[in-house]
Structure 1
Amino acid sequence: MWGLRLGIFLLMRILQWGEDRRFDEMRENLAKLAVFWIFQAVWVWTVSLPVTFVNASNRNPSLQAADIIGWIIWSVGILVEATADQQKLTFKNSPDNRGKWCDVGVWKYSRHPNYFGEIFLWWGIFVAATPVLKNAEWLVILGPIFLTLLLLFVSGIPLLEESADKKYGNIPAYRHYKRKTSPLILLPPALYGNMPGWFKTTFLFEFPLYSRGLPQETWSRSQLETSVHKIS
């Protein structure tokens, strides 16, 4: 279901846009393309470990609380991810939004709600797999851990944050959006914006590397709010 949903979405997107510039450089270099696809295969194999072990196990325990909890987590995750993807696609397809960052729908509550959904659904699959796991089989937890670390620190949020900062970092309204909006977990902007910095960094994944693409000049809170008010 996860693969079908993602495949259909990517097909719709490429039919509308006609191209995907992210792969331009790779298509011109066979070595880079090979490394990319091998990494994708390793990624899918790793995050699928809980499913693989469940399907390979001959144990068949009765329905447990972990099953229901896992299915709920998975359902919430795929719903958030699908909603976020569709809302952003609709936003970017509108000529009126050209040159703007997406801040509608679930994007009001998270700068990367699609990644929140992706991480959440794979942790749900792991939780649902736990009733059949024994001894060393618990190492399948490396699947969701690998995905979480990848999106938080490597190829997910850091790259997109740096790209957005370079595009919109000089716009006060964008800085205001970034300060008020959680990087991953869906939270009301009014709540997140008033939380102390140490709490955001420790518990809500607002790491310093997510701001390395911003211009060097700093803005005080009062300057940001005044500028946003003027723009409004």
Structure 2
Amino acid sequence: MDYRNLLFIALISLIACCGIMAVIWLWAKRIKNAGVVDVFWALNFPVITIITFFLAEGFQTRKILICSIFLLAELRLGIHLWQRVIGHLDEEEGRYQRLRSEWGDKADRNFFVFFQFQAISNVLLAIPFFIITANISTKISILEYIGLAIWAVAFLGEMIADRQLAAFKKDPKNKGKVCDTGLWYYSRHPNYFFEWLTWMAYFIFALASPWGILAIISPAIILYLLTKVTGVPNNEEQNLRSKPEAYKKYQQTTSSFFPWFKKA
């Protein structure tokens, strides 16, 4: 494994992601909607994928496999987020409104730093990807096949969860109600669970490569962010504000993250 080449790829990826986020910050500043950062955080990964595919020196078949699934997953997520955000570009999401209010006249400067940290996180989370694409072994390991299988389950699960929620919200009869059908019957956040499972799949895939154990950093960071920082906490807070009684009951009976059977 050529570590100098790995560092070079990571540096090029970082420069590209930081540049993209700087441009997006200018756009967000003009339209006064920092929520667009979520879309381009996801779409930065395809940029990293393209850079790595052409610069990494690993086994071509392995590169095609990991680049294909990484590209497919992140493009799907980016497009899904774009469809969610594009409908209300003139209305900033609550969490960004709160940050803007707390930061006051320093909001634009702080959002620039925030956007750059998102770019840094893109490269940090891509560690499994860098490790895998540097692997020169011509044998595809059983661990890599297991990783692919888990990824397929996670990809389908997240896509189904997103579609079930979108269909529920689209029906006017469900206004003020909580989506608790399909995958949402077993978890309050199945979309977040399957997003995390996707990163676990990359970790398992990376275990077949030298220093693959270092890839654990990605699912660990994603799990922390989703359950403690931006994902579950923000979503729960918003739902408790919009439908307090119904959502409290939902919380009492349904697993927060990992899909499981209803509580009595």
Is TM > 0.5 for Structure 1 vs Structure 2? yes
Name stretches of at least 5 consecutive residues in structure 2 with no aligned partner.
1-71
In structure 2, what is the equivalent of residue 187 of structure 1?
260
In 2, the alpha carbon distance for the partners of 1:119 and 1:153 equals: 13
Q: What is the SS of the residue equivalent to 1:131?
A: coil
Name stretches of at least 5 consecutive residues in structure 1 with no aligned partner.
195-232
Does 2:249 correspond to 1:176? Answer: yes
Matches within 5 A, 1:101-112: 101-112=178-189
In 1, the alpha carbon distance for the partners of 2:207 and 2:75 equals: 25
In structure 2, what is the equivalent of residue 97 of structure 1?
174
Please report the RMSD computed on the Cα atoms of aligned residues, expressed in angstroms. Answer: 2.3
Q: Which amino acid is the alignment partner of residue 106 of structure 1?
A: L
Q: What is the SS of the residue equivalent to 1:107?
A: helix
Matches within 5 A, 1:134-145: 134=211, 138-145=213-220
Residues 174-220 of structure 1 show CA distances to partners (whole Å, capped at 9, x for unaligned) of 3332111111111222xxx14xxxxxxxxxxxxxxxxxxxxxxxxxx
Q: Which amino acid is the alignment partner of residue 129 of structure 2?
A: V
Q: What is the SS of the residue equivalent to 2:208?
A: helix
Does 2:122 correspond to 1:44? Answer: yes
How many residues get paired?
Answer: 186
Give the helix-richer structure, 1 or 2: 2
Q: 1:93 to 1:17 in 2, by over 3 A?
A: farther
1:13/1:89 contact within 8 Å kept: no
1:54/1:132 contact within 8 Å kept: yes
In structure 2, what is the equivalent of residue 166 of structure 1?
241
In 2, the alpha carbon distance for the partners of 1:77 and 1:152 equals: 17
Instruction: Determine which of 129, 139, 143 is the counterpart of 2:206.
Output: 129
Q: How far did residue 20 of structure 1 move?
A: 5.5
1:61/1:131 contact within 8 Å kept: no
In 1, the alpha carbon distance for the partners of 2:252 and 2:163 equals: 24
**TM-score, structure 1 normalization:** 0.71
**TM-score, structure 2 normalization:** 0.63
In 2, the alpha carbon distance for the partners of 1:43 and 1:103 equals: 32
In structure 2, what is the equivalent of residue 150 of structure 1?
225
